[in-house]
Structure 1
């Protein structure tokens, strides 16, 4: 798969590695206590990234063991996954509850699926799809390649973000992905492999339903297979939820770039690094880094939700680009800024919670 190891991507991989090391070295009991809530949040975010109306109340209901049995027929997938949320006679939150419960079921078999994702990828992929869609769709299409034309939509406005490739290309594309995974897993960094698998599945949309959550689950399996966060304390999906339109939009941009996945990998690996760092910070709190006095006023002037880039900061503070980068990273590590997704490490955003 085509991509370039930019300087920024190399830095992001190094950050992910450093955070993984901190997580692995943290107190095992603290990891065990953090994992259940983190896994629940990851499942809820994954469902919502696919447009599920899942509420916190429904999450609590399922976590308490109340999982409804749907009475209606499975969705007619000729019209896509969204039909499952509008089945006549079904309560929307009942459907959402089953979606969430299915994602939590993946946790119980994650280790076994992870052991197969790199040795028999297509079988593991179909098994993931079966769990995600259990009770929601016609069993005849579970694990079967998509046979209909589909498009990915913006959940807020319903606008088409990108069209999936023609159905007759799905099986060859999956065969190529299967071969690539078997060959490249041992020589590619797991953060890169996970990002490529995630992005490629979002591009292909291999099944009639549930493709987004299947793609995210498979990326997670690749990481677990490589020993990255096996207990599940990092929540990648939280980072993706910060800009869901940009997340899917980057897939569309990859298609327009004829498969150059460099920018996608920067976005995905950046989200992964931030997720791992957040988990490491929760497990092993460290003092906030000292902030450069010279930049405090400039950063404070950025409005909540506003952005500042490297050149603007360098100009306003009167430093060179190298010092500007070091300053902005320090502000980001202290929580005063966040690195903007897809910004190539050059743009930072003021959190909306900041005054």
Structure 2
């Protein structure tokens, strides 16, 4: 194993992130004030890596995957991960967060209606207006003589910050000592404009919140809620990172991305898992020796016509059903074979 690798892909947590070299001068950011470290890994990561954390060591990425993950860490660039559904694209983000101790993975599942603003922050203007109207209608507000044009920073209940919540991308860009891990899942499902809208944010490592910029003279620091559910300070209406986040952009290959986005990313293509990798995944989720017990199911999964598309989830479903149904008699063998075939039907076929 080369000494330059920070992420080793071995599944065992370590403090290698402390030895990550400084960023290139053109990717050095100076945001502040620093926010508190994120919460520990959440159940979502545990589900993806395996039922038992010790089994996470079975998720062994290949040499190219390890090298390109580390290239993204060194260069402070997003990692664009392409591959067939179920090939382990999303799991890679959780594996990096687990091994390097980077806390909860921030997830942004992209759909056709997603906009850049969805990833950065949400401002509940209607809720703020309603609360302000209710507060001014109370006897206490009337007695205090609260003027109709009061500064929003002085509103009852904490001001405008109560109505702003950072999204997953916005939270990832908060200034922190260690990089956060952000999973932007299925970017190819987005509207045609979103990849281009991301360019400036990914290049500059910052964004602005106009609603807070307008108040920077009277309220230079405002407490808002992060995607983690924690209170964080935004200064002068600007969020700028300190450690550029480790961003994984996944794509199933349903569309091409513009060259400016590709230029800003490290591109990793994950091939369809072979038998060895599938066996490792099965051990991770079903325990030691499961790959041997269910070798026939794994072989059936791999037995496909050229061009057939199957997801690893289908294999896991077939094994779990076989395990729980307890098909052992010869009379039940036909049921097992038939249901296994149905559960692992190629995704690009109907019947």
**TM-score, length of structure 1 as denominator length:** 0.25
Structure with greater helix share of residues: 1
Structure with greater strand share of residues: 2
Structure with the bigger RCO (C-alpha within 8 Å, sep 6+) is: 2
